[in-house]
Amino acid sequence: MAPFTRDIDRAFLEDAYGDYVSGYSTEGEAISLEASLYLLKQLSAGPVRRVVDLGSGWSSYVFRLYKKIANPALEVWSVDDSEEWLGTTSWRGTTSTHPTCVCGRGSAVRGST
């Protein structure tokens, strides 16, 4: 697996983050750009097979972007109480069709394997 920093730079992520918080969410609702960069650094630091994302949105995009660019075998599962909000994880084409189900008391899950 290639180091993530070779495949994408901070400027790309900043542009994507700006688009996301201006069109889909707010900076107060989304994880910060710095937290996003930290997550990417952690993913790049060692072998990761699965990620469970509690809540969906910008963090789901970050995890799936990493999957797309650096680790195609990574499984990413986003859990949210809104099936509609899970749709934001397909923002900017980072996902293909993923199975979605409603689990327990209205929690929706979208997986990427």
SS3 content of the chain, % helix, strand, coil (to 5): 50, 20, 35
- In this prediction, residue 112 carries a pLDDT of 59
Among the listed ranges 24-38, 43-57, 76-90, which one has the minimum average pLDDT value? 76-90
Within 10 A of 23 (CB to CB), how many other CB atoms are there? 9
pLDDT class for 7, splitting at 50, 70, 90?
Answer: low
pLDDT in tens, 13-40: 999 999 888 888 888 888 999 999 999 9
Res 70 pLDDT > 80:
yes
Q: Is the pLDDT of residue 104 over 80?
A: no
Rounded to an integer, the average pLDDT of 6-19 is 82
Question: How many domains is the chain partitioned into structurally?
Answer: 1
Burial, 100: exposed, middle or buried (Cβ in 10 Å; 0-12, 13-18, 19+)? Answer: middle
Half-sphere exposure of 82 (CA within 13 A, CB side): 9
Alpha helices, DSSP H, located in the chain:
4-7, 10-23, 33-45, 58-69, 83-86
- The pTM for the full model equals 0.75
Domain holding 86, by residue range, is 4-112
- What integer pLDDT is reported at residue 81 of this predicted model? 80
